[in-house]
């Protein structure tokens, strides 16, 4: 396992980090499976575990908490808040009122007295950066969190938050967690350069493109990835974007084979090759999935292989732009574009 410094924090983190979104009802992963995955990951040198309050309604945090019991000091523990946790309108977002409550709930579910990285799961257009950062700064000073992070923020919001922290004397986000894969490269144009400019660590989620790059989606066979059963429309080959993805997958699989790699090794090696990326977040649902992904721990792609990937999916291009989660609200809500 290789290690890199998380932004400018001095904290050393593994280039593969364990994402726990599949723990619980979402991935039908039991406590026994979660514990086996966590134990195997830590034994292999993974030292980052990332979860969120929203994953399976808090169940992921509970499973992670039990799995790391007795090994807490070995883990850089990260969680997130923002997503709705009930129908109550104030049980979501990034207000001081909610983040204070959400963090206490996460600490209880995790069975710990602090988390190492607390991330705002999405940019909240209803809440000012000053409100959010002042609340997080106070929680940091109270010893409940060590570092602050953002997730899936548009590049201009990352810059705005950095400016607010500096101007108001508040703690700043030291990490960003964007979606990034060989099929979804849009963040190369703006988010990754901004993160590098501001010294942010980057924890890239969905490096296997929701299973498209796991080997479970190939031409001439039904998609066997779990995600295809949950979101079948994203794998429907009657959709032009999905046909384009499948074509790219077939070409990438050949590049991998010619290089003596699995498609998973190629996909994870691509993400960790970018100088702006600190770690790739893998999200295994079973111990078998984890073993296949850990095989990429030491994968370093040659320039020829990276050039071949560029020829298939050009830099900065998203093959499924409608699946991005950092689109500014003004592009989604017509009322924000009209008088």
| Catalytic position from the list 3, 55, 82, 325 | 55
* Pairing relationship of beta strands 173-177 and 201-204 according to DSSP bridges: parallel
Beta pairing partners, 147 = 117
- Biggest CA-to-CA distance, the chain: 58
* Paired residues of 281 in beta bridges: 17
Q: Which of 71, 21, 17, 61 is nearest to 293 (CA)?
A: 17
**What is residue 16's three-state secondary structure?**
strand
Contacts of 104 (CB under 8 A, 6+ apart): none
H helix and E strand count, the chain: 12, 10
CB 273 within 8 Å of CB 300: yes
Report which of 237, 215, 216 is spatially closest to residue 226, judged by C-alpha positions. Answer: 216
Instruction: Note if 82 is an active site residue.
Output: no
- DSSP letters of 101-133? HHHHHHHHHHT-S-EEEEEESS--TTS-HHHHH
CA angle 82, 86, 87 (to 5 degrees): 110
Residues annotated as catalytic (active site), given as ranges:
55
């Amino acid at each position: 396992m290789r290690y890199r410094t998380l932004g400018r924090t001095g904290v050393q983190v593994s280039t593969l980090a364990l994402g726990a979104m599949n723990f619980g009802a979402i991935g039908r992963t039991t406590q026994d499976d979660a514990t086996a995955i966590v134990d195997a990951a830590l034994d292999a040198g993974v030292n980052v575990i990332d979860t969120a309050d929203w994953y399976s309604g808090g169940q992921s945090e509970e499973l992670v908490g039990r799995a790391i019991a007795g090994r807490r000091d070995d883990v850089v523990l990260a969680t997130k808040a923002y997503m709705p946790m009930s129908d109550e309108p104030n049980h979501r977002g990034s207000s001081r009122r909610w983040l204070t409550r959400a963090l206490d709930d996460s600490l209880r579910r995790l069975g710990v007295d602090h988390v190492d990285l607390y991330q705002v799961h999405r940019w909240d257009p209803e809440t000012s950066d000053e409100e959010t950062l002042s609340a997080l700064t106070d929680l940091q000073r109270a010893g409940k969190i060590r570092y602050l992070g953002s997730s899936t923020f548009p590049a201009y919001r990352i810059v705005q938050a950095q400016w607010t922290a500096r101007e108001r004397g508040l703690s700043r986000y030291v990490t960003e967690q964007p979606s990034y894969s060989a099929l979804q490269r849009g963040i190369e144009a703006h988010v990754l350069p901004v993160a590098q400019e501001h010294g942010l660590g980057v924890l890239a989620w969905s490096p296997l493109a929701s299973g498209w790059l796991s080997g479970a989606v190939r031409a001439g066979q039904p998609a066997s990835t779990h995600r295809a059963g949950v979101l079948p429309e994203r794998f429907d080959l009657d959709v032009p974007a999905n046909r384009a993805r499948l074509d790219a997958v077939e070409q990438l699989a050949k590049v991998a084979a010619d290089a003596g790699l699995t498609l998973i090794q190629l996909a994870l090696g691509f993400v960790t090759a970018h100088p702006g990326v600190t770690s790739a977040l893998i999200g295994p649902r079973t111990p078998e999935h984890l073993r296949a992904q850990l095989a990429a721990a030491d994968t370093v792609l040659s320039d020829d292989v990276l050039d071949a990937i560029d020829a298939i999916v050009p830099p900065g291009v998203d093959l499924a732009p409608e699946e991005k989660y950092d689109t500014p609200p003004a592009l989604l809500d017509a009322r924000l574009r009209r008088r």
